[in-house]
Amino acid sequence: MSQEVNENKIYVVGHKNPDTDSICSAIAYAALKKELTGKHYVARRAGRLNEETQYVLEYFGVEVPKLLSDLRVQVRDVDLRRAENLNGSVSIKTAWAQMKELNIKTLPIGRNNKLEGLITVGDIARSYMDVYDSNILARSKTQYRNIASTIDGKIISGNEHSYVSKGKVAIAASSRQLMSDFVDEDDLVILGDRIEAQQLAIDINVSCMVVCGDARIPNEILKQAKEKEIVVIASPHDTFTVARLINQSIPVRQFMTKDELITFYPKDYVDDVKEVMARKKYRDFPVVDINGDFQGFISRRRLLNCRKKQVILVDHNEESQAVDGIEQADVLEIIDHHRLNSIQTIGPVVFRNQPVGCTATIIYQMYQEYNKPVNPVIAGLLCSAIISDTLLFRSPTCTLLDEDAAKELAEVAGINMEELAQAMFKAGSNLQGKSAEEICFLDFKQFTVNDTVFGVGQVNSMSAKELTEIKTQIESELDKIRQNHRLDMIFFMLTNIMTESSELLCVGPEAREKAISAFDLNGKSDTLYLKGVVSRKKQLVPAIVEALQQ
């Protein structure tokens, strides 16, 4: 049985609406951690890639990380109760014996690992208490070998693999005349050592004779039984015991629950599973994969010991920017270069936060601290991240550490930073075919100050014409986007890398006023032009936060 679980998998992931730094840093740090520990660290993305990041990954031949959209606990994170499928033809007695041996209340029924139904203790109880049908063995197509096994008997004559197809169960404990009145052809007859009763059963042409108490069966009777293909079973038990036990030979498929089964899948979230469980009184719920293969049982008790997903966060430490369900995850580390905010952890974690221009600079430092060489591909990714976050060292967030790291990485990767930067920024500003909303969220972060929730988007370009075209496309749609995403304000930066300046678009109640106050603008012009402002992290967000707090 295969079940994907997270016990050996640790996700390294950046923020929603990922940029080049969050993606490249996640890839590089996952590689470093895997090399250091040998554990299964994997890079993931928390949203759709922007054009710049796609260009970088394609340039260095790196596969796009898989999407991680939710960190809530899933069924695959729960230790399921394993159980092998029982074939539907096995007897109720066999199922009951297995339940007692394993001390469980429910068994899966099926073949080739495909779930066909469930048999529970309650189903078995109903098979005793609610069955008043002497034809039940025929209706359930009970195999003769099941009958023999259930009554601890032995098949003396006949095909053990055949099954009861007609007739009822009768007990031949009366006179020959009375027996002739109630025993019919094809019946299964329970009888003892009376030779005349055995002969009458042969004459009536019953389908099966069950001879109790290990009574003698004359050779002539056996000969006739073989000629007529009558199954003969010898049991050591008395007639009462055989009659009491024989219903336990019925195959479990007769009483199993098979319609409208409530099943769960490994990808289902435990929050949703709990809601379903609360409405149902079952003890165990089967889990199947997308192919219908049975994986195990989940129960309310097992939900108490879920394995939380383990995660390392890079390039952010704000809950609003993190993957959904972060509150249910086990955060192991945070590597960031932004302001401290709202991620809460269960216990102490490695938290590395440095005032540099790019998370990739910190990751490169860690490679050096552990004395691990950076291969050309990882060097190229880290260098690209620094180029992106510092706008090729033009951003005020850029430090000497960033610049030195980028130069060293460029040498290892064998790249020309000026040429790569131009290609990256050109790819990032090529937004042809994208909607206004897609452009807005290509590089977007959300913040909360007191009760105000605002978002900041940014597009960088080396072309003033290109920025004008982008402005024309999104300006009229920005407030609709704000309302659709339930934000109080949106600030959108149109950043010209060459002039090292930004035009700021503002939507939302008092958004424009807060921006004017934050940057001490006169507000007479319709255009809010911020000279020297290119950094969202170091220049725009701190100013807006201060204005909102005032």
Residues near 132 by Cβ (< 8 Å), separated by ≥ 6?
none
Highest mean pLDDT among 278-282, 382-386, 430-434: 382-386
Segment 193-199 mean pLDDT: 89
Does 408 have pLDDT greater than 80?
A: yes
Segment 62-80 mean pLDDT: 93
Give the span between the Cα atoms of 14 and 26, in whole angstroms. Answer: 6
Q: What percent of the chain has pLDDT over 90?
A: 58
Predicted confidence band of residue 130 (pLDDT cuts 50, 70, 90): low
Tell me: domain 436-549, CATH 3.10.310.20, correct?
yes
Report which DSSP code applies to 305: G
Segment 190-208 mean pLDDT: 90
Q: Write down the H helix ranges in 5-118.
A: 20-37, 51-59, 92-102
Q: Is the dihedral of CA 53, 59, 60, 64 positive or negative?
A: positive
Segment 152-166 mean pLDDT: 89
Does 6 have pLDDT greater than 70?
A: no
232 within 8 A of 155, measured Cβ to Cβ: yes
In this prediction, residue 3 carries a pLDDT of 37
CATH node for 9-73+308-428: 3.90.1640.10
Q: Is the dihedral of CA 337, 17, 416, 26 positive or negative?
A: positive
Write out the H or E segment, with its range, that includes residue 58.
Answer: helix 51-59
In this prediction, residue 127 carries a pLDDT of 76
Does 5 have pLDDT greater than 90?
A: no
Tokens of 274: 């709990």
Which tops the pLDDT comparison, 179 or 57? 57
Predicted confidence band of residue 42 (pLDDT cuts 50, 70, 90): very high
Segment 307-319 mean pLDDT: 92
Q: What percent of the chain has pLDDT over 70?
A: 97
65 CA to centre of own chain: 17
Predicted confidence band of residue 21 (pLDDT cuts 50, 70, 90): very high
Return the residue matching tokens 């939507």. Answer: 507
In this prediction, residue 344 carries a pLDDT of 74
In this prediction, residue 174 carries a pLDDT of 64
The three-class DSSP label of residue 77 is helix
Residue 9 burial (C-beta neighbours within 10 Å; 0-12, 13-18, 19+): middle
Q: What angle do CA 103, 105, 111 make, to 5 degrees?
A: 105
Does 2 have pLDDT greater than 60?
A: no
* Residue 119: how many other CB atoms lie within 10 Å: 28
Predicted confidence band of residue 342 (pLDDT cuts 50, 70, 90): low
Total length of the chain: 550
pTM of this prediction? Answer: 0.70
Segment 240-258 mean pLDDT: 88
**Residue range 362-399, pLDDT digits in tens:** 999 999 999 999 999 999 999 999 999 999 998 888 99
In this prediction, residue 65 carries a pLDDT of 97
Does 150 have pLDDT greater than 70?
A: yes
CATH node for 92-254: 3.40.1390.20
Predicted confidence band of residue 60 (pLDDT cuts 50, 70, 90): very high
Predicted confidence band of residue 1 (pLDDT cuts 50, 70, 90): very low
Q: How is 412-441 classified by DSSP, letter by letter?
A: HHT--HHHHHHHHHHHHH--TT--HHHHHT
Tokens of 546: 């201060």
CA dihedral 195, 198, 200, 202 (to 10 degrees): -130
**Residue range 451-487, pLDDT digits in tens:** 899 999 999 888 898 899 999 999 999 999 999 999 9
Tokens of 141: 């197509």
In this prediction, residue 139 carries a pLDDT of 85
Write out the H or E segment, with its range, that includes residue 493.
Answer: strand 489-496
In this prediction, residue 4 carries a pLDDT of 40
Mean pLDDT of the chain: 90
Give the span between the Cα atoms of 40 and 272, in whole angstroms. Answer: 28
Residues near 491 by Cβ (< 8 Å), separated by ≥ 6?
454, 455, 456, 457, 504, 505, 506, 511, 515, 540, 544
Q: Write down the H helix ranges in 185-238.
A: 195-204, 219-227
Give the span between the Cα atoms of 455 and 81, in whole angstroms. Answer: 45
Does 511 have pLDDT greater than 60?
A: yes
Give the span between the Cα atoms of 189 and 195, in whole angstroms. Answer: 14
Predicted confidence band of residue 292 (pLDDT cuts 50, 70, 90): confident
In this prediction, residue 332 carries a pLDDT of 94
User: What residues does each domain of the chain span?
Assistant: 9-73+308-428, 92-254, 436-549
Predicted confidence band of residue 152 (pLDDT cuts 50, 70, 90): very high
Residue type, 194: R
